Amino acid sequence: MSQPTEDPKEKPKRWIYIIPLVLFSVLMIVFFIGLGLNPRLLPSPLIDQPAPGFNLARLKAPDEMISQDVLKGEPSLLNIWATWCVSCRVEHPVLMKIAASKEVPIFGLFYKDERSKGLAWLKDYGDPYVASGMDLDGKIAIDWGLYGAPETFVIDKDGVIRYKHVGPITWDDWQNILLPKIKSLRAGSGV
Amino acid sequence: MIPELGHFALILALSVALVQAIIPGMGLLRRRPDWMAVARPAALLQFVLVLAGYGILTYSFIVHDFSVLYVANTSNSELPLIYRISGVWGAHEGSLLLWVMILSTWTAIIAVYSKRYPADISAGVISVLGFISIGFLLFSLFTSNPFTRVFPAPFDGADLNPLLQDPVMAIHPPMLYMGYVGFAVPFAFAITALVQGRLDAAWARWVRPWALIAWVCLTAGIGLGSWWAYYELGWGGWWFWDPVENASFMPWLTGTALIHSLAVTEKRNALRNWTILLAIISFSLSLLGTFLVRSGVLTSVHAFASDPTRGVFILVFLGLVVGISFSLFAIRAWQLRTKTAFSLISREMALLTNSVFLLVTMLTVLLGTLYPLILEAMGGGKISVGPPYFSRVFIPLMIPVVILVGVGSFIKWREQKLSELVDNLRRPAIFALVFASALLIVLPGKASFTAWFGLLLAFWVINSAIAQLVHRLRNTQNTMRGLKRIPRGWYGMITAHIGLVFTVIGIALSSVYSQEQDLHMAPGDERTLGEYRFEFVGVERKDGPNYSADVGTIDIYKKDKRMLTLHPEKRIYNVRKNMMTEAAINSNLLRDLYVSLGEQRDPDTNAWSVRLYYKPFILWIWLGGLVMVLGGLIAVTDKRYRIEVKQEKLKLNSNHVPAN
């Protein structure tokens, strides 16, 4: 066994040992500021920008493609979903009700998942989407500035993003936020 | 009256914990042996009092005392005895009490064996454990009292969550908690060393068995939890990157790093501060895990906010523990450092690299777990980053870890020539390539890179272990005697590494070769998966003790010969009206056949939705966990942790003189 030896000439680098404390303090500060802030929505640089382009195979008919052009013509929702996403399962019945109300067409972006699982999901729980594009590697979602799933974008008749909802849509969210937005978009455009 | 006695016992335990924390702690700082001597009796007394409180709560469960709110919320008169006993930790209040119970048990064990350690060290350790106990007892008494009465007492209880009415789920939480609490002991040793500003040469040897036991319990707990999720949830999955799972996995990752870093500190007296840091982090994550799982923060930040006392207490307690520990580390750690040199190619370096990888892996899991919480706290709604994130970051980080397992246990301490190391490792590597490729050809199913790579990693570690054994025996004439001379610690290490390999094999092969079908079946329908044909016979109604069930019958044929019949169930529990899936599984080492029953689709034809799975080698995942546990247990029984008792006494008299 070699004995630990001290070299008196070398100054110990004491600042290294402070790093864990500093990192932890930063984390705590971020956390407390985070808890203190309460913006209802996360700012998205995409608001009032044209929807980012995509050209994806459809989940139910992989020979057909859908692109951002399907979002034009009338206001629509683009919902990002996946079968691994527990919150999406919570949100799903609400989407079914929205689809049944025929207020607005819902398009899906099927995100980082496997086609077979997505098909089973739609078969088991129902399909609220006009069509779902398969973004299996999540590249398109990056263009859309995705935080996670589920997220829903409100898009106007010109294909411009007007609102972004992070997390599952509840029936209240639909009634109080999304539906009024869509109604005003329709009114504004005279449709 | 009896529940009030339990409450009173906990209050007394709190006051004893105050004594246990403060007096020996002051004794350590002021170097007063008479104050330090308080540690032992205080720890034992606290243990007796907590045991009394815990026993009384269990008694209230057994006799169906529904005037106790907690019992009324988590038990029911129909609940079988075993689940009334395990129901004690079936919800937040009781599991906190279980935590304190395990903590005081382990403190008592340290107190009983306190002669193993110098008086000042055992006083310091017991004092630190006392402080932790104070925190938990305060939390229990002021925010989560299990003995609160309800008046008028309800006629019957609300029943234990049916998910928890399962033998594995009954022992899973205590296992996990023994792991979590186990890391309190290395933590207490680390804090004591920091407070004293010196680290005894035997320090790592004292801490190692504790860290190992904690790691063993945590491994067992995680393994049981994953197995339970597999057969109980009915989705055929075994790991979901669920925040609750991550909460137990994070301390496991750093705990694994800790036991390896401790090896370096013990053998070479190096990496002392790294070891101390890992001990602090492992325990902090254990605290985080305990709180996250039971406080409801993870189900939703809103649950956290709905009971602000608990939430604020949790944050303050965590902040205090981690903040004080890291501050001590910042002030004192530099005094503990050593200048034990080791080169870039040495076992020290291999183990250090591995523990860095494990720490980084933990941080990525932490990020993926907390990020959705923080986002939700900021008002962003509940999103998931989900398995795509975790598998993308986790697998690339684990591959070097497994490669280093093969290198790290083979490489020499201090320094080794690269050419020599390459020479030693060449043969295991070549054989791994050959075996993995050969096995891939033999295996049914199409060739896959993932399967091949998994097998390659597995054989790499196994071959390296065999090569080490041969290397160790190269100078012995008598093989049996040579095998006996190898310390148990080495066998334990190799066993645990083989366990890891089993898990890698299970994950790689089951993820590649599994087949699943999700379909509607009416009696007489059949479907083929792999070489098995599943025939749906029908569903019948049956009643259990506290539930009623739909029991399916599915015959499975192989080459037109009936092999077996599976009976998946769909249960509805009488009290809570929860629907529970009981999957039916037939397991062997080569494959699992797994059937779970969904909803009835068509009452006329008796058609049901059914999930069929064929999962090759999946059992290896948990078998690997079991072997890892075994390896840890073998290592704990190494003689040097026992002989040390006598040696330490001698050493104590000769060179370790506490300044008093």
Please report, rounded to a whole number, the percentage of residues in chain B having pLDDT higher than 90. 49
- Residues in CB range of B37: below 8 A, 6 or more apart: B27, B119, B123
DSSP assignment string, B251-311? HHHHHHHHHHHHHHHHHHS--HHHHHHHHHHHHHHHHHHHHHHHHSTTT-HHHHHHSHHHH
Residue range A50-78: mean pLDDT, rounded? 89
Domain ranges in chain B are 1-165, 170-305+337-399, 417-511+626-660, 515-617
- Look at B330 and A7 and tell me if their CB atoms are within 8 Å: no
The whole model's pTM is what? 0.83
Q: What is the mean pLDDT of residues B341-362?
A: 91
Please give the CATH topology (third level) of the domain spanning B1-165: Four Helix Bundle (Hemerythrin (Met), subunit A) (1.20.120)
Q: Pick the residue from chain A with its C-alpha nearest to B381.
A: A167
How sure is the predictor about B293, in pLDDT bands with cuts at 50, 70 and 90? low
Preferred mutation among A17, A81, A109 to probe B, highest tally of B CBs within 10 A: A17
Across B240-253, average pLDDT = 87
Residues B599 and B616: their CA atoms lie apart, in Å, by 27
Does the structure show a pLDDT above 90 at B633?
Answer: yes
Give the span between the Cα atoms of B275 and B352, in whole angstroms. 10
| 3-class SS string, B392-416 | HHHHHHHHHHHHHHHHHCCCCCCCC
Three-state DSSP at B535 gives strand
Q: How confident is the model at residue B403 (pLDDT cuts 50, 70, 90)?
A: very high
Of B268, B329, B341, the CB nearest to A20: B329
The H or E element that residue B114 is part of is: none
DSSP H or E segment with residue B540:
strand B532-543
Mean pLDDT over B355-383 rounds to: 80
Token digits of residue B608: 């049901």
**Residues ≥6 apart with Cβ < 8 Å to A2:** B268, B269, B340, B341
Task: Indicate if the alpha-carbon torsion angle A122, A125, A129, A132 is positive or negative.
Answer: negative
> Would you state the pLDDT for residue B57?
96
Which domains, ranges and CATH numbers included, belong to chain A? 55-189 (3.40.30.10)
pLDDT tens per residue, range A102-126: 889 999 999 888 888 888 888 888 8
Task: Look at residue B211 in the predicted model and tell me its pLDDT.
Answer: 95
* Residue B439 CB contacts under 8 Å (≥ 6 apart), including other chains: B455
Alpha helices (H) in A41-114, listed in sequence order: 86-101
Q: What percent of chain A has pLDDT over 70?
A: 84
Which of B99-108, B157-166, B172-181 is most confident? B99-108
Residue B306, pLDDT score:
47
State CA A37 to chain mean position distance. Answer: 21
Does residue A134 surpass a pLDDT of 50?
yes
Q: Which chain A residue has the Cα nearest residue B519?
A: A120
Residues B376 and B303: their CA atoms lie apart, in Å, by: 12
Query: For position B50, what pLDDT does the model report?
Result: 97
Q: Confidence band (pLDDT; 50, 70, 90) for B658?
A: very low
Nearest residue on chain B to A18, alpha-carbon basis: B330
Q: How confident is the model at residue B78 (pLDDT cuts 50, 70, 90)?
A: confident
pLDDT in tens, B5-48: 999 999 999 999 999 999 999 999 999 999 999 999 999 999 99
Query: What is d(CA B85, CA B81) in angstroms, rounded to the nearest whole number?
Result: 6
> Does A151 contact B383 at a Cβ distance shorter than 8 Å?
yes
> Taking the CB of residue B344, how many other CB atoms lie within 10 A of it?
11
Give φ, ψ of B545 to 5 degrees: -60, -45
Q: Percentage of residues in chain B with pLDDT exceeding 70?
A: 92
**B12-16, B64-68, B536-540: range with highest mean pLDDT:** B12-16
Average pLDDT over every residue of B204-233 = 92
DSSP E strand boundaries for B138-217? none
The pLDDT value recorded for residue B239 is 85
SS (H, E, C) B620-636: HHHHHHHHHHHHHHHHH
Residue of higher predicted confidence among B133 and A122: B133
Helix (H, G, I), strand (E, B) or coil at B16: helix
Q: Tell me how close the Cα of A22 comes to any Cα of chain B, in angstroms.
A: 9
Q: Which whole-number Å values give the CA distances from B459 to B289, B453, B466, B505, B629, in the listed order?
A: 34, 10, 10, 10, 20
Give residue B25's pLDDT. 94
pLDDT value, residue B43: 96
Q: Do A148 and B381 touch (CB under 8 A)?
A: no
**Quick check: B186 and B207 in contact, CB under 8 A?**
yes
CA–CA dist B622, B378 (Å, integer): 38
- Say if strands A55-57 and A65-67 run parallel, antiparallel, or are unpaired: antiparallel
Contact A6 B378 (CB under 8 A): no
Give me the interface pTM, i.e. the ipTM: 0.76
Average pLDDT over residues B507-524: 88
Is the Cβ–Cβ distance between B114 and B122 less than 8 Å? yes
* pLDDT value, residue B302: 45
Over residues B409-424, mean pLDDT: 85
Query: How much is the average pLDDT of A59-63?
Result: 88
